[in-house]
Chains A and B, each alone.
Chain A
């Protein structure tokens, strides 16, 4: 089951990767993107930590 799930997610993930690559968004400066990425990673850590309580 884990292998099946992994393959399914990989196949769908390729489409996501492709889509994310065509996201030029010229009006957004790279700094905003990096801040958003940091915020996303931080949020993920907080959500995971909240599960351990």
Chain B
């Protein structure tokens, strides 16, 4: 992907250098950003009108939007794989400007109509009389906004090519979207038998373990005399099975040339069955934890985290089994050819410390009853991973300049300023569990929390996002990409990923990611990014400990 063209000093007259991928990414980003902004401003729950066209919109609008977006996304995927090279060729040859002025003006006008209509329609004070016109304006404006967004960056030739070469893609895409949404509705029919099957397995396991059972098949309540739970539809395991099905299909499709078919198909149902059994085991363990007297842990951290831990463990097992067992893999253990066999891929050295923090966080949360006492596990696991891969980091530039702490301080100011404009993030005092703990325990926890914030987290996150993701988005051989030569799209995407992982603070997180990348770019030193990140975290820690809101942690 020749993204370096984006930062080219060339003007609009040489705009043919803008790649197909860059134009496509821009179009998708435009729609996503507009959707996010509108969803922040408009609350569809405010619609009080239940009759006429607006009532129809209230009932079917969200489903229609979901179907439309799913259909468009799937059509794009079908079209990209069936005739992507043809369009890349079309957009490579086009002399169309990077952004079409006419297309942009039409799009802004359509967006204005849609926004004004939506803001007025989804207002609790809107009366029935004016709602009909607003509903029609909303539907037409929304459709015009979506259609016009397609012509802002992608030239007209692209769309004529689309309808000439890939005309069946929308048919496939919308058929699959319709089938998916129908299956969503149909899947509700199997909830009850699914819950009954999970209930039966847990019942038999508890009976085999010789517990004094409390079981009511009518309400799906099961447990022991001291602790029992009700198995709801969400706990029956279908979502884990569905995720496993999706993961299995995506994995087999992505690396299909490496597997032996049809036997590799067997892995999908095997993974699904194993996932369902693992979910029943999760409920069994939850009951045992509650029966042992730790009901707050069972219903708190374990209940929500164990499902994800089970799914991730199964996904890892699936990936390892299907690529290591010769009966499933056509070239088990051999190189895929992207990198010469003698060269060791250094990707694990960059991302494993960050993965260790995430995994340790999940385990620590699963063992908690609200407050994460096991935070130290994150520090220990990250430090162990960094120590294990220490030789791989010796080739990196670790020089540190004065700009690094200055940028870190600037990010701190932005972070706190963003907090002021985010009233939905509540200001919190020190968690009661920590404030009521004995002084040695409290101090030990705080020291580990500070060590994590200032040492292990900045190193692990900078290695992952600036050291790996930023460069990997530019080239498959990421180690060949100089830390000073990254381009715009990898910068934005890697920073966005970094920001999104900061939850509600994603905007501040994205800006922080971009600034850390820019300070790293000056000297090509990852050390600069790490020091900037550590400075921000140190200032936040100081603010929290000096009486600031604990929600910052």
Contact = CB atoms under 8 A, between A and B. Distances in A.
A18 B183 contact: yes
Contacts of A31: 503
A51 B245 contact: no
B351 A42 contact: yes
Given A19-B187, A21-B184, A43-B355, A35 B347 contact: no
B242 A34 contact: no
A26 B503 contact: no
B307 interface: yes
A52 B355 contact: no
Contacts of B500: 34
A1 B312 contact: no
Interface in A13-53: 13-36, 38-40, 42-53
A38 B471 CA distance: 17
Contacts of B179: 14, 18
A17 B246 contact: yes
Nearest to A50: B348
B188 A22 contact: yes
Interface residues of A, number: 48
Given A20-B239, A23-B242, A46-B347, A12 B268 contact: yes
Contact of A47 (B176, B320, B464): B320
Contacts of A47: 316, 319-320, 323
B503 A30 contact: yes
A19 B257 contact: no
B245 A36 contact: no
Interface of B: prevailing SS? helix
B341 interface: yes
A9 B362 CA distance: 31
B325 interface: no
Contacts of B257: 2
B542 interface: no
A19 B242 CA distance: 5
A18 B253 contact: no
A28 B307 contact: yes
Contacts of A4: 261
Contacts of B501: 34-35, 38
Contacts of B308: 28, 32-33, 36
Nearest to A31: B503
Contacts of A32: 304-305, 308, 362, 365
B336 to A, nearest CB: 6
Interface in B239-268: 239, 241-243, 245-253, 256-257, 261, 265, 268
Contacts of B361: 35
Contacts of B312: 36, 39-40, 43
A32 B304 CA distance: 9
B253 A40 contact: no
B157 interface: no
Among B311, B351, B361, B464, chain A packs the most CB atoms within 10 A around the CB of: B351
A51 B180 CA distance: 34
A19 B187 CA distance: 7
Contacts of B493: none
Interface string B175-190: 0100111111001100
A25 B239 contact: yes
A26 B170 CA distance: 33
B333 A20 contact: no
A10 B261 CA distance: 15
Interface string B396-419: 000000000000000000000000
B384 to A, nearest CB: 15
B470 to A, nearest CB: 14
A22 B238 contact: yes
A44 B308 CA distance: 16
A28 B334 CA distance: 39
A40 to B, nearest CB: 6
Contacts of B215: none
Interface in B170-213: 176, 179-184, 187-188
Interface string B350-378: 01101100110110010000000000000
Which 4 pairs across A and B sit closest by C-beta, in order of nearness?
Answer: A19-B242, A23-B239, A16-B246, A18-B183
Interface of B: 176, 179-184, 187-188, 234, 238-239, 241-243, 245-253, 256-257, 261, 265, 268, 303-305, 307-308, 311-312, 315-316, 319-320, 323, 333-336, 338-339, 341, 343-345, 347-348, 351-352, 354-355, 358-359, 361-362, 365, 464, 497, 500-501, 503
Given A18-B181, A52-B335, A53-B344, 16 more contacts: A12-B249, A14-B176, A18-B179, A20-B239, A20-B243, A20-B246, A23-B242, A25-B239, A26-B234, A27-B304, A39-B359, A40-B312, A45-B348, A46-B347, A51-B323, A51-B333
